[in-house]
A and B are shown apart, each in its own frame.
Chain A
């Protein structure tokens, strides 16, 4: 079965608010995770990654949090903008360098 999943299939936020997208994983041995953004008609775009020896990693307007105790991953986007509207996927690396993707969360930013 699928080991990576997302709690919310859709998320609607107002421009300027912060967004939080959640992801659960089942393999406690997973040691590397990536968040991707996919806009309509495009391939997934790398946003940020985190290794299992970290709890938090920050990028430009994005923060990824990893809670290994409950096997939960989240992506926080600060001051969400219309250009952030897309589908967001979390993925975990499996043996053999295969990425196991969740089903995705659609983020809609309203003015």
Chain B
């Protein structure tokens, strides 16, 4: 069974640009979660999507947004990039209502 997949693996942007990151959940999983892993800050919860709706949001500014598509894949958009947005962005998925979250390999975003 394929795990969570994310693309691209690496992304380099300049300050002020927009970044789009993509995630495909494990087959059968309807919930998708996004986390940021910045150096020295650990993993921080960003967003949770289920059945196409945003269900929960972490303590991040509105320029972090996303959506979930009918096939349950998801994308994370980061607008007006700042240097401190440089981090590993991790996507996880779970069965609906389940606590166990399974992570993808991440997208390394570098903002210069």
Contacts and interface: CB of A to CB of B under 8 A. Distances in A.
Contact of A100 (B45, B90, B100, B104): B45
A108 B104 CA distance: 23
Given A44-B90, A89-B43, A49 B100 contact: yes
Interface of B: 4, 31, 33, 35, 42-45, 48, 55-56, 58, 90, 92, 94, 99-106
B100 A45 contact: no
B100 A43 contact: no
B43 A97 contact: no
A53 to B, nearest CB: 13
Contact of A32 (B33, B92, B99): B99
A101 B43 contact: yes
A99 B45 contact: yes
Contacts of B102: 46
